[in-house]
Amino acid sequence: MAGERVICVGHTALDRTFYVERWPTSSAKIAARDYRECGGGMAANAAVAIARLGGAAEFWGPTGDDREAGIMAEELAREGVDLAGFVRIPGRHSSVSTILVDAHGERLVVGFRSDALREPPDALPWERLSHARVLLADVRWPEGAAAALCRARAAGLATVLDADVAPADVLTRLVHEADHVLFSAPGLQAFRPGEDAAAALRAVLAAGASVAGVTQGERGCLWCEAADPDRLHAAPALAVDVLDSTGAGDVFHGAYALGLAEGWPVRRAVRFACVAASLKCRGAGARASIPDRHAVEARLRTA
């Protein structure tokens, strides 16, 4: 299992989620029909997904040294995530988010990004790269992601970038450091504004990636590979009743990275990730409804 370990580098947050019928377009007071508090953050959610799906995951990233950090650390540990790189910075505030989820599963997220994400990656346990097969990084901690992707590549690990919305210069820098670059649809537009998906993904391959893809929610995933850049591949999402899509993209990236760690071809890893992300959307919260390995494999047999 140690050889199939995935290191997830980036953001951890505490999510406070309110479930409402709809959110207003002007000043108002609205009632929530449910409320949940749980850990969030792109890389942290991906690590939980890997652990739920039977893999070995480590989380590396900075946060504050406050009550919220304690809650996040306890939850990650309960999920079986190794906290070797969970770095608490004295005097910093942790990331917190308030999320509104409407009756159709759509989200409105108000987030406070931790000032710890401005810290350099000096405290990360770089020696542990030798125990992993894949490194996954998100875009929320650019300095940490760039250093981790570069060092992981040099150590012979497969590298995966979760390329969500970020400033264009951040995306450009990180895209050049990763082997597998998987965008959200808004993230791809932030990277190549106005271009269609196929042209934008080929630009990612031209920057040095071996695989470039984009997740498209209920429409699944598109990707292309450096071995045949003119061929655009597609994998569908499952048709499910969506209750809450929070964290679905993070689950996709974690499941994909786990597939790479287990030595799967890209098509199998993408299909596995699409099913895992779809199943997650049936339940509330970013983590409570992440499926286990048995649930995903059962749906793959019938999909």
Using 50, 70 and 90 to split pLDDT, how confident is the model at 3? low
Does 87 map to a domain? Answer: yes
Give the CA angle between residues 17, 22, 23 to the nearest 5°.
75
Does 183 map to a domain? Answer: yes
Once rounded to an integer, what is the mean pLDDT over residues 116-134?
A: 97
Using 50, 70 and 90 to split pLDDT, how confident is the model at 82? very high
Reported as a single tens digit per residue, the pLDDT across 286-299 is 898 999 999 999 99
Does 162 map to a domain? Answer: yes
Can you read off the two tokens belonging to residue 85?
A: 């790189």
Using 50, 70 and 90 to split pLDDT, how confident is the model at 263? very high
State yes or no: pLDDT of 1 exceeds 60.
no
State yes or no: pLDDT of 167 exceeds 90.
yes
State yes or no: pLDDT of 27 exceeds 90.
yes
Averaged pLDDT score across all residues of the chain: 95
Does 29 map to a domain? Answer: no
Using 50, 70 and 90 to split pLDDT, how confident is the model at 25? confident
CATH number, domain of 261, equals 3.40.1190.20
Reported as a single tens digit per residue, the pLDDT across 175-227 is 999 999 999 999 999 999 999 999 999 999 999 999 999 999 999 999 999 99
What was the pLDDT predicted at 286?
82
State yes or no: pLDDT of 105 exceeds 90.
no
Lowest mean pLDDT among 29-38, 115-124, 200-209: 29-38
What was the pLDDT predicted at 245?
86
**Residue 219: domain span:** 2-22+34-302
Residue 239, C-beta contacts closer than 8 angstroms, at least 6 positions apart = 218
Percent of the chain at pLDDT exceeding 70:
99
Half-sphere exposure of 58 (CA within 13 A, CB side): 26
**Single pTM value for the model:** 0.93
Provide the domain count of the chain.
Answer: 1
Report whether 280 contacts 237 (CB < 8 A).
no
